[in-house]
A = this chain, B = another copy of it.
Amino acid sequence: MVNKKVVARLSSYRTALLRFHELGFVKVFSDTLAEAVGATSAQVRKDFSLFGISGNKKGGYQTDILIEKLQSLLGKDRVQPVIVVGIGNIGTALLKYRGFEDEGIRIVAGFDLDPAKINRKLKVPVLPADEMQDFIREQRVTIGIIAVPDAAAQAVCDTLVAAGIRGILNFAPIVLRAEEGVVVNNVNLQNELENVIYFVNTLAKQIKGK
């Protein structure tokens, strides 16, 4: 019943609400929120009802209470430690990004095979890959990001899962196999770009064709 898309919308609602809150909005209506995230008002209400979130007939939803509930649903009530494996282009971008901290996501370490990438002095240290398993166990990290080349991704996945990682965000363009109970979410940037290219090309053809 609760699927990836609904949860993604919850995240978007939350992001939008934080902005509204900052702008001083005390309450917000389903259609305001819908507009902000590109959905319909009925969908906003349906989504909320799915999680037992209710507002006020007339009067909408109280911004701070709503934020509170979404925070809790999305696990924002405590800091989530996350590690990044593969400190190349993408891995570095993630490590350097300052936006996660305010959102309760703390990248606690990076790992890489390449000795040149290792640096224990950084605020977010980059450690050798062979220290990864111990680190995960000791720090009880459950979320990992895979940003290694595709050929290495499955092996890294296996290692992570063996050490106790339960959720993976994967940037490598392959389908990872992991045991039941491990959550894998893929971000394939090339596919995303190709998607744009496809629709631009077909739209262009349609227009020419008309």
Q: Is A92 on the interface with B (CB-CB < 8 A)?
A: yes
CB neighbours (8 Å) of A96 from chain B are 89
Bound CA span A183–B206, Å: 14
Bound Cα distance from A185 to B174, whole angstroms: 21
Q: Is A108 an interface residue (CB 8 A)?
A: no
> Residue on B with the closest CB to A201?
B75
Residues A188 and B12 in contact, CB atoms below 8 Å apart: yes
CB-CB under 8 A from A99, the residues of chain B are 190
The interface residues of chain B lying within 8 Å CB-to-CB of A4 are 195, 199
Instruction: Tell me the A1-26 residues at the B interface (CB within 8 Å).
Output: 2, 4, 7-8, 10-12, 15
In this complex, what residue of B is CB-closest to A14? B194
Please report the total number of A residues contacting B with Cβ < 8 Å: 59
Whether A139 is near chain B, meaning CB under 8 Å from some CB there, is no
A197 at the interface (CB under 8 A from B): yes
User: Does any Cβ of B come within 8 Å of A63's Cβ?
Assistant: no
List the number of copies, as a whole number.
2
A103 at the interface (CB under 8 A from B): yes
Question: Is the beta-carbon distance between B80 and A197 smaller than 8 angstroms?
Answer: yes
B89 with A93: CB separation less than 8 A = yes
Check A169 against B142 for contact (C-beta < 8 Å): no
Taking CB atoms, residues of chain B closer than 8 Å to A73 are 198
Interface residues, chain A, CB within 8 Å of chain B? 2, 4, 7-8, 10-12, 15, 36-38, 73-75, 80, 82, 89-90, 92-94, 96-97, 99-100, 103, 105, 142-143, 145, 166-169, 173-175, 181, 183, 185, 187-204, 207
Q: List 20 A-B contacts (CB under 8 A).
A: A4-B199, A8-B188, A11-B195, A12-B175, A15-B174, A15-B190, A36-B175, A74-B198, A75-B197, A75-B198, A80-B197, A92-B93, A100-B190, A143-B196, A166-B203, A167-B197, A169-B196, A183-B196, A183-B200, A183-B203
